[in-house]
Amino acid sequence: MDIKEAIDYIHSLSKFGKKSGLDNIRLLLEKMGNPQDELKFVHIAGTNGKGSIARFISQGLIEAGLKVGLYTSPYIEVFNERIQINNENIPDADLIEMVTLVKEKVEEINAKDYYPIEFEVITAIGMEYFKRQKCDIVILETGLGGRLDCTNIIKAPIVSVIGAIGFDHTQYLGDKISDIAFEKCGIIKYGSYVVVYQNMNPAARKVVKHMCMANNVLSSEDGRLTINKMDKNGTSFTFNDIDYEISMMGEHQVYNAICAINTLRHLKMKFEISDDNIKAGLKKAFWKCRMEVLGKNKDVIIDGAHNNHAIVEFCKTLKNNYADKEKIIILGMLEEKDYRASIKEVAKIADRLLITKVNSPRQNDVKKIYKTALEYKENAILYEDNEEALEFASYMKKDDSCVFVVGSLYLAGNVRGIVDKYF
């Protein structure tokens, strides 16, 4: 098996299973000797910001000299990004070895009428790899929801983090904030400490507090926050009388960083972590396609915001940091998202709006999305091909313009590698 065959095997598996629940992953991991039971975890759920929170926490622990596993999704450019140790992707040789092992175990349980889906298999691969590499701790991001997400097979993590909660995947998680929060809070377990997003929706916070009480666990409280400076180079802020800096742009990233601060401070009970480690980790943390600035003149910004909650934060960041710039926005969204609400927000701040296609196996009628865009921006333009959209944006761009790419991590990943060709 070579690396292409290994990744092709993973992608050949079903994205969604016939059975909900944890039976598939439980049986698969049992066949593998339950590698997850030999690991310590920080488990993260939430609608938006999970990856950023995970990266902040991971970098803080790396600064403290720990061997840190990081499990996130989706990948941006290469599959191996999903499974990392100390910011290094799983090597091809190790991935091939893990796939070979897991594939054999999958075939064994297929015979018992259990059919693990793609995400379950990737999770099993990550668990085995982190165990073999003897990670001190693993930062584990849920895939969808929490309660029935296969990452929830782990025993009580040291910390459960509940990030920002908004509307997304409503066909699976419910169409009320309280229902979505209930699913996310399924990762809360007796024996853990719970870190709660500081700027959380009140209805969601009520559910989180109830679930903490039901599981008899302590949770973080909102702290004193002052944002001192926020610009294109990042943000400096004071939280509970300690000064911090982050390079990631946007107010929402401050709240993600606070989740990391509260998590890392609790982890001091288990590991030797200094305040300087936490500060350095937050400042160094980098996450692809999260208001990432690219191009020779630093005037192309790519962001993976892909639901209305995240799009609102994206627009707020543009208002705060790019008020004096002409904004050329390339937008691509999946049809399953609340694209109308997102287009409405983006149209308010876009000087020029380009609609493009998201290359995804999921339903994606770009002409339908473009037709909606015309309702809010009559000069919106359709370029189905991502590169053609980027090239046209380069023709339109003036000295006082910035180009923004937003709406999907799939789109962000596809465009990221070709920005230097035009800017």
Return the amino acid letter for 114: Y
Q: Determine contact, residues 239/282, Cβ cutoff 8 Å.
A: no
Q: Which helix (H) or strand (E) holds 208?
A: helix 202-214
Over residues 285-312, the pLDDT tens digits come to 999 999 999 999 999 999 999 899 899 9
Answer whether residue 233 shows pLDDT above 90.
no
Residue the block writes with tokens 């175990």: 105
Pull the structure tokens for residue 321: 């940091």
Res 203: pLDDT: 93
pLDDT of residue 15: 87
Instruction: State the pTM of this model.
Output: 0.94
Mean pLDDT of all residues belonging to the chain:
95
Report long-range pairs for 395-401 (Cβ below 8 Å, ≥24 apart): 396/328, 396/352, 397/299, 397/328, 397/423, 398/326, 400/324, 400/325, 400/326, 401/299, 401/325, 401/326, 401/327, 401/328, 401/351
Alpha-helical regions (H) of 65-184? 92-110, 118-132, 170-173, 177-184
Q: φ, ψ for residue 397 (rounded to 5)?
A: -65, 135
Q: What is the pLDDT of residues 271-289, one digit of tens each?
A: 999 999 999 999 999 999 9
Which pLDDT does position 172 carry in this prediction? 57
**What's the confidence (pLDDT) of residue 183?**
93
Is the pLDDT at 31 greater than 70? The verdict is yes
pLDDT tens for 246-261 read: 999 999 999 999 999 9
Q: What letter represents residue 16's amino acid?
A: F
Cα gap 230→257, rounded to integer Å: 14
- b/e for 196-218, b at 16 or more Cβ within 10 A? bbbebbeebbebbeebbeebebe
Given the structure tokens 């997003």, which residue do they identify? 197
The H-or-E segment that residue 11 falls in is helix 3-12
Comparison of pLDDT for 175 and 136, the residue scoring more: 136
Q: What is the pLDDT of residues 140-184, one digit of tens each?
A: 999 988 999 999 999 999 999 999 998 765 555 656 899 999 999
| DSSP 3-state of 243 | strand
CA distances from 111 to 150, 326, 331 (A): 21, 59, 45
* Burial grade of 119 (CB within 10 A; 0-12, 13-18, 19 or more): buried
Tokens 């596993």 appear where?
69
- Report yes or no: 215 and 189 within 8 Å, Cβ to Cβ: yes
At 364 the pLDDT is 75
Which residue stretches of 305-349 are H helix?
A: 308-321, 339-349
- 395's enclosing H/E stretch is helix 386-396
Please, are residues 340 and 309 in contact by the beta-carbon 8 Å criterion?
A: no
Which tokens sit at 192? 């853990």
Helices (H), 152-201: 170-173, 177-184
C-beta neighbour count of 331 within 10 angstroms = 29
Please answer whether residues 150 and 177 qualify as being in contact, where contact means their C-beta atoms are separated by less than 8 angstroms.
no
Does residue 94 surpass a pLDDT of 70?
yes
Q: Which residue's entry shows tokens 């180009």?
A: 403
Alpha carbon distance 188, 152 (integer Å)? 9
Q: What is the mean pLDDT of residues 203-213?
A: 94
Confidence (pLDDT) at 170: 55
Residue 136 has pLDDT above 90, yes or no: yes
